[in-house]
Structure 1
Amino acid sequence: MQLVFVCSGNTCRSPLALCAWHLAVRELGAQSGQSSAARLLQRIKARSAGLCATIGAGAAPYSQEVARGWGEDLTPHRAQLFRPEHARFDLIITMTHDQSAVLRSHFEVGENQVRRLGSYAPRHQKLAEAARFAPLWNDDFFASLSAETGSEVDILDPYGGSLEAYEACASQIRRCVFELARTLSGSKS
């Protein structure tokens, strides 16, 4: 199985999601030993890409800092553009509704093939995070989002924000990726 985490520039969110995936695979594997669920997760090939990436750009400095705090190294990361071959992956995980819509309109992908990462968080968590972290982004649009728009399942871009904005985004990503890994492995909560 192959999956790809997709964001806009492949410098902030999707590289962090890939780091979180590696952590989740190790953690769930350690919890379950060499169970069939652990072996399944280890066989999943995960990548990251961006819809409008500047090919070869490094990960954002704050993303690198957050990853270091997780024991991961994003220094060698180089941005990749989402390519037609990614559309053949089994699972395409986006950060926002708009990214999912772009993929569906420009690539031949199945309806169930594209999912938003935020959909793996409990609803109450999504609403609480949207309200709690709105002031951390220097983006009036984010501050004006409401639950009615479905924004509670979007993992919004911290680009240009503070370290705290990146940490908040990364925390949300990590929880959602862990739940994604649990779901794919068939593990119980």
Structure 2
Amino acid sequence: MSPPDENILHSQMSTATVCGSVSKSSEHQPTSNTETLTTQDQDAMAQFCRSVEKATVEDLWKAHLLVNDAFGLFRDETAGNSPLHMLILATVKLAQANGCSEIHDPESSINESYPPPAWSAAAIGLLYRLVVVGRCSVNAQNWVGNTALHLACLRPKAGVLVCHLIRLGE
């Protein structure tokens, strides 16, 4: 194999290792974790988590400013969720805080004939920022093996993000 081919193979193997499964049973855990983050990155991530957990439109816009290129390295310690997983999990609370009912209505959340809810602009913007600026992989799996797309399909009111996750995953 020629040196350029070896470099391509090595880079593909590295990408697969970092973006691959993050399950407890995996023998080859990704080398990128919170230990490789700087203190400043860890502080930004903690602040991001608090903002997303509050699940208000204002806090999601504040979270936009915190995203940096180290966010793709982060996984929470309890479930292995990436920042994308956290955003998806916050959508129900965000929808409820902005007047949406608890009833899961998949037609209104992904059908193009219905306008997206007003809060979705902040969530969609943050989703793209996490992937583009934060280098979060849409294929990253938590410890159960779910990607952000899996969670978006399962969570009420997160359907508005499904088509965007699919677009980003192509």
Same-fold call, TM cutoff 0.5: no
Bigger radius of gyration, 1 or 2?
2
TM-score (norm 1): 0.21
Structure that is richer in strand per residue: 1
